[in-house]
Structure 1
Amino acid sequence: MNDKRIMDIELLRGIAVLGVVFHHLQGSLFRDGLAWLGSVAAYGQFWWGVDLFFAISGFVIARSLVPQLRACTSAAQFWQRTRDFWIRRAFRLLPSAWLWLLLMLLATLFLNCSGAFGSLHWSLSLEEQFYLLLPLLVLLCRKYLAWALLALVLVQILTLRSALLMVIRTDAMALGVLLALWTARGSYRHWEPKWLGRYPGLGPLLLILSCLGLGWLATDGFNVTRYRVGALAVLCALLVWIASYNRDYLLPRGLLKSLLAWVGSRSYGIYLIHVPVFLLVREAWFRLAPLGTTGLNEQPLLAMACAAGLLLLLSELNYRVIELPLRNRGAELVQRLGAARSPVPSTGVTSC
């Protein structure tokens, strides 16, 4: 399976992370909240960006990993490829996560006059557990993997989500994996939504309506169904399905798409960094303005501009200095381990 990045998937990553960033403006950047943000939240919330991330992760990881694992001819080869996958994921995810966790802890201790850094919240564990468990699921379920995933999705969709179950939701990830498995079948091409390409304005309209619909489903006042989280997972998976063909169905190529795809390529850093940046701006405002966060609320556009500039700068630095170099280090380590276990060609000379 081709591991090349899909621009339409990067587009969805960009939309997902922007939704999460916007969702955290209220409470993280503006501690006391803004009236207009509260009004927006009453009609549409954007925490569904996390579910879209989950669906994307399930698809992107499974489309390359599952075929590799299924092609293994021995248990040793299976565990070698699983180990290589875990090494690449660790080098990809953990250095940035640990760096920003450490910086948040240091800010809590030494840069916290306003109390902005008084609490620490981190939410990467579910995705990291998925990376650990997916190879084991492939091993245990074998040819029944799709059925096991489908059962997992149905159980969650038909279950009323409590606060605890919201934390462990995996239906969007499972749907992403199912989509990746489907790409190996002929029916995947048969069901390609080519009709979106025949009407250029239809894809962007569908994308906008989907985002609005996801936002509406995510609101606390949505009472049409008790199973809104499952509905969110299905809608996110449908967007990933359309994007998986990489035919510009959702948005034509242009400046807007390039910008969103750039944001998508930096989405991991933006996801990690945006809350620390919001808290840092609050702390700086407290030190520079006697009114503290009240002064920040009186100049929301300036505060958001400062936060956006700092977030873009730090996420680009994180991408260039941390993510790319260590991702390459992980790939090099996997190559060295592969070379070390390759048999040495015989030279015809025996040693004593």
Structure 2
Amino acid sequence: MPVGTGACTRLPQLDGLRGLAACGLAFLYHPQSLFTSEALAGAPRPLLWFQTWGWTLVDLFFLISGYIFAHVYLQDGALSRDRLASFAVARVARLYPLHLLTLLFCAVFFFADPANTGLAFLAHLFMLQAFVQPVAQTFNGPSWSISIEAVCYVLFALAAVGGRRTLRWVTLIAIFGSIAHFVLAGRPGGPWVGDGLPRGLLGFFLGQMIWHLRHRLADAPKMMLACLFVFGLALDMGQRSSLLPLALYAWPSLLLLASRVQWMGSAPMRWLGDRSYAIYLVHFPMLELVERWWGPLGGGIGTVWAVTAAFALAVLAVADISYRVIEVPSRRMIRDAWARHRGAVKAHPASPA
């Protein structure tokens, strides 16, 4: 996430939490497609939870993003009308280079997939992949969420420069409008295509609201937060979407708990958090390649753990290279180019007509 100015500091515990969420998706949820149902039959209960509900960790990403964006951009006037362009450049520099690289990789290696049409490619190219069908089945499937994040960024930035009252109204409409969607149209199980935008809006703007309430929530007992976390995980909504208890209870409680745990901000966790975006984007193309080469694997639960560990190590290695060789240099290059452009504009202002 971007580094703000003034009193704004990094939140290392949330970096660590983001890294763990990326690992949960990349190593425990998606890789189950590598194995036969017989191989997964003896999985322990925690792994079974990830196999069924691991996809909801994306909602934890949205929540963390909203909290960090509020922390970075709502202090010291860090986001104002004259800084909107810089905000947009920073977001593009953060998200687009690795997204483009993985898109091109998938276009080369998976071009024969029927869903990978020219229209789908254009949608991915312009970061609109969450709004074309079939969502999450074209090119790099998990990248659907970054197009939803982009929508949240735009709404947040426009609302923030409109003033506190505007931001407050946008936040309330986003949260309660999304809750209404899940109450009225939410279905059990998932993930469902039509839930993408409500999930992003709910998580992102709820994270921002939690940041505003952070001082009041600082005294909340850890035991109470732990109970809310368990309650959110365990609540069965019957014929309604179980995303609501996860989004409203489990993930906010986990965020607040993680922010109080020192080791979540340790050097290894920060390392993982820095590479969380790369883990998220590179793991799926790698998984697709493994599936095409070897297909579903049999064996017992020991085989599942061994293959999963090997896959995780491979993804971490590729993510580290991607972070150091692609993400960091491209981010610096784009921001430096923008700084030079702004400097040139200031040095040679346009002459009045």
Structure 1: segments with no counterpart, 5+ residues: 73-77, 112-117, 197-201, 287-291, 346-352
Deviations 1:240-296 (A, max 9, x none): 3455xx5xx2x3438x95433322221100010111222222334x2xxxxx53457
Cα distance, 1:36 vs structure 2 = 3.5
- Answer whether contact 2:42 2:300 (CA < 8 A) is retained: no
1: CA distance between counterparts of 2:85 and 2:272?
30
* Correspondence 1:334 to 2:348: no
Alignment of 1:1-352 (within 5 A): 2-21=7-26, 22-27=28-33, 29-30=34-35, 34-37=40-43, 40-41=47-48, 45-67=53-75, 72=80, 78=81, 80-109=82-111, 120=139, 121=141, 122-123=143-144, 124-140=146-162, 142-159=164-181, 160=183, 161-162=186-187, 163-169=192-198, 170-180=201-211, 182=212, 188-193=214-219, 196=222, 213-216=231-234, 222-223=236-237, 226=240, 228-235=242-249, 236-243=251-258, 246=259, 249=260, 251-253=261-263, 258-284=267-293, 286=294, 292-294=295-297, 299-342=303-346
Cα distance, 1:147 vs structure 2 = 3.1
Structure 2: segments with no counterpart, 5+ residues: 1-5, 114-136
Q: Larger radius of gyration, structure 1 or 2?
A: 1
Q: Do the aligned partners of residues 210 and 279 (structure 1) sit closer, same or farther apart at CA in structure 2, a change above 3 Å counting?
A: farther
The residue number in structure 2 matching 1:348 is none
Deviations 1:193-240 (A, max 9, x none): 3755xxxxx69xx56x666555445xxxx3358353232222323433
Deviations 1:77-131 (A, max 9, x none): x1x41111111111111110111121122222499xxxxxx96324121012222
**1:168 partner SS:** helix
Q: Do the aligned partners of residues 229 and 106 (structure 1) sit closer, same or farther apart at CA in structure 2, a change above 3 Å counting?
A: same
User: Percent of aligned positions with the same letter in both sequences?
Assistant: 25
TM-score (normalizing by structure 1)? 0.73
Worse-matched range after superposition: 222-231 or 258-267: 222-231
One-letter identity of the residue aligned with 1:280: L
- Answer whether contact 2:233 2:246 (CA < 8 A) is retained: no
The residue number in structure 1 matching 2:130 is none
**2:263 partner SS:** coil
2: CA distance between counterparts of 1:335 and 1:14?
30
2: CA distance between counterparts of 1:325 and 1:71?
25
The residue number in structure 2 matching 1:350 is none
2: CA distance between counterparts of 1:342 and 1:309?
48
- Answer whether contact 2:79 2:160 (CA < 8 A) is retained: no
